[in-house]
Amino acid sequence: MADQPKKNLFDKLKRGLLMTHTEIIEKMKEAVTPDLPIDQAAIDGLEEGLLSADIGAELTTSLVERMERRVREEKIKDVARLTEVLREETRALIPRRTSQLIDTSKAKPFVILVVGVNGTGKTTTIAKLASRFKAEGKTVLLGAGDTFRAAAIEQLQLWADRIGVEMVKHKAGSDPGAVAHDTVTAAKSRGADVVLIDTAGRLHNKSHLMQELSKIRRVVEKELPGAPHETLLVIDGTTGQNGLSQAAAFLEAAKVTGMIVTKLDGTAKGGVILSIMRQFDIPVKFVGVGESADDLIPFEPNDYVDTLFE
């Protein structure tokens, strides 16, 4: 029974990545001639599938070159072996990391700053994280730091009420740094275990947004040295390679420590996670594969590769 929770998570990931898996594997299968050895047409089909799944040009080129070599050297004759080799070569190209889980026991309160552009599912992701931590027996406090949108404050309050956690908020248009300060102060006085602070996803321009994020970080660190302990960037999986440019914009100003890729269940572009892992030295912590609170699942690179290329 110990393996059942892991199997359930794998099954959720499999369902979430079905469209991406189909995009890659079906294009490859369509290009294979039955009862004949794997030829260049099959490799071309694979390349088309990888690009369509938004794995990215650089990584696709590397994979295709490796696959061509393996096919030539091993004289691969069937799709089953080809997909097995594809899994092996993909794993070889992505960084190996230890567990990506968030260890909130390292500090109390453990402060998590959540960043990302509007529309990525950032607020909903915060709610899912809060629900997850509460289910683990932790007391959670939310901070409504996206003060530039009244709707963002209202949405987070609705989630806080639904989950049953407390929230610190100011009126719309208030200083986000003040909200962050008051949230951390309240967490210390109330003995909260985990703090999740929302941030603005769009201001007048990119420079203004990044300055605001840097300011919030400074405020939090001044109030609680060592915090924020995690800064999580939420990326919408349906945006594909555009998500990479979003990530690059946030990395320096926000000092991102981990990423969460959402909406994988609604896209054939889930291959973008491979590009993220390849391009940035920052782990993917969670992936979102549905609307329910338990559809935010811990990311395991090997499970992800297996799901894409099984």
pLDDT reported for residue 279: 84
Which of 53-57, 104-108, 199-203 is predicted most confidently? 104-108
What letter does residue 258 receive in the DSSP assignment? E
> pLDDT tens digit string along 289-301?
888 878 899 988 8
> pLDDT tens digit string along 276-289?
888 887 889 999 98
Single pTM value for the model? 0.90
* pLDDT above 70 for 98: no
pLDDT tier at 6 (50, 70, 90 boundaries)?
low
> Do residues 237 and 54 touch, judged by C-beta distance below 8 A?
no
Torsion over CA: 266, 250, 303, 47 (sign):
positive
In percent, how much of the chain has pLDDT > 90? 48
pLDDT tier at 36 (50, 70, 90 boundaries)?
low
Torsion over CA: 201, 203, 207, 208 (sign):
negative
* pLDDT above 80 for 99: no
Reading phi first (left if > 0) and then psi (alpha if -120 to 50, else beta), residue 62 is in: alpha
State phi, psi for 96 to the nearest 5 degrees.
-95, 130
**Mean pLDDT in the chain?**
88
How many whole angstroms separate alpha carbon 30 and alpha carbon 46?
9
43: its two tokens:
């490799």
Domains of the chain, earliest start first: 4-93 (1.20.120.140), 104-309 (3.40.50.300)
> pLDDT tens digit string along 114-166?
999 888 889 999 999 999 999 999 999 999 999 988 999 999 999 999 999 99
**Helix 242-254 and helix 206-223, axial crossing angle in degrees, nearest 10:** 40
